[in-house]
Amino acid sequence: MCNQHHDESTSASSTTVSETIPATETPASSNDPSDPHSCDLGLWPDNISNSMREYWATKGSSDCSNSDADFSATSTLLEGDKYKRQCQKSMFTYTHQLTKEQHLRTWLCYSPSQHALYCFACKLMTDVFVFGKQGCTDWKHASQQISRHERSSNHRQAMVQLLQRSDANSRVDAELVKQTKTEREYWCSVLEQAVETICLLGERGLAFRGSDEVVGSAKNGNYLGVWELVAKFNPFLVQHIKLHANKGTGSHIVSV
């Protein structure tokens, strides 16, 4: 009887103690897709809220890059290939055409969960499918797709929208802001000189075009002739014409 009473008392005591201990809450995972602070773009929700855009526009993309991640999970042997292909660290850099300097593609982010590449700006600001909603996993053509994407109008618009939401002085990815500003100033300078040339010829009633549009030709007309003349004394135009002249049909020296 005493033993039975003792067991019941012990059981009751244990029950009381266990009921008074609060349950430990499991902290929310930083990889939760509903968490706007997740550094894995592959886990971001499809519908981005304005508050999430503001947060990441101010914070920048550096925490989401994952350019030093282990890419072995992306290794794939495609049909017809002798070697496996995978995401490469070299994809996160590019050589600037004008300065020949190496720059980081700070907009490019790797998702460890989806094993895919995303565009930070397009994921936040647009509905672009590849590099946005889906991510790029075509490792055979990834380098070409990355280059094509960063020249696309959707990407440029997304970058402009992202910069408009951010304070350039407090951005973590200040280099990205600087690169975009340099590109914008470059093409504004080209456009300004093109407009001045057009005004000069228009005021004097001179014909613009010649019998061809080849830079270096004596028959390319007054417009290209003025550009070639000014370029003799302007290193900026020398470099610009060297990069963009005679590329396909027409001169393209004022093409963006």
Residue 249 lies in a domain: no
Q: Residues 103, 48: one domain?
A: yes
The total of structural domains in the chain comes to 2
Where do runs of H (alpha helix) occur along the chain? 2-20, 50-59, 120-125, 142-150, 153-164, 174-203, 221-231, 235-244
Whether residue 183 sits in one domain with residue 162: no
Q: pTM for the full model?
A: 0.56
- My answer on whether 153 and 199 are in the same domain is no
Inside any domain, residue 5 = no
Whether 144 and 193 share a structural domain: no
> What is the model's pLDDT at position 167?
66
Mean pLDDT score across all residues of the chain: 80
Q: What are phi and psi of 37, to 5 degrees?
A: -100, 5
Dihedral of CA 119/123/124/128: which sign? Answer: positive
Q: At what angle do helices 221-231 and 235-244 cross, to 10 degrees?
A: 130
CA atoms within 13 A on the CB side of 203: 6
Domain boundary among 135, 166, 197: 166
Which tokens in the block code for residue 144? 């070409």
Q: What are the residue ranges in the chain where pLDDT is below 50? A: 1-32, 250-251, 255-256
3-class state of residue 47 by DSSP: coil
Q: 197-227 pLDDT, tens per residue?
A: 999 999 999 998 888 888 888 888 899 889 8
Domain that holds residue 194: 179-244
pLDDT computed for residue 240 by the predictor: 84
Whether 53 and 146 map to the same domain: the answer is: yes
State whether residue 15 is helix, strand or coil: helix
Cβ–Cβ under 8 Å, residues 142 and 70: no
| CA–CA dist 113, 24 (Å, integer) | 27
Here the tokens at position 119 are 């565009």
pLDDT number for residue 248: 60
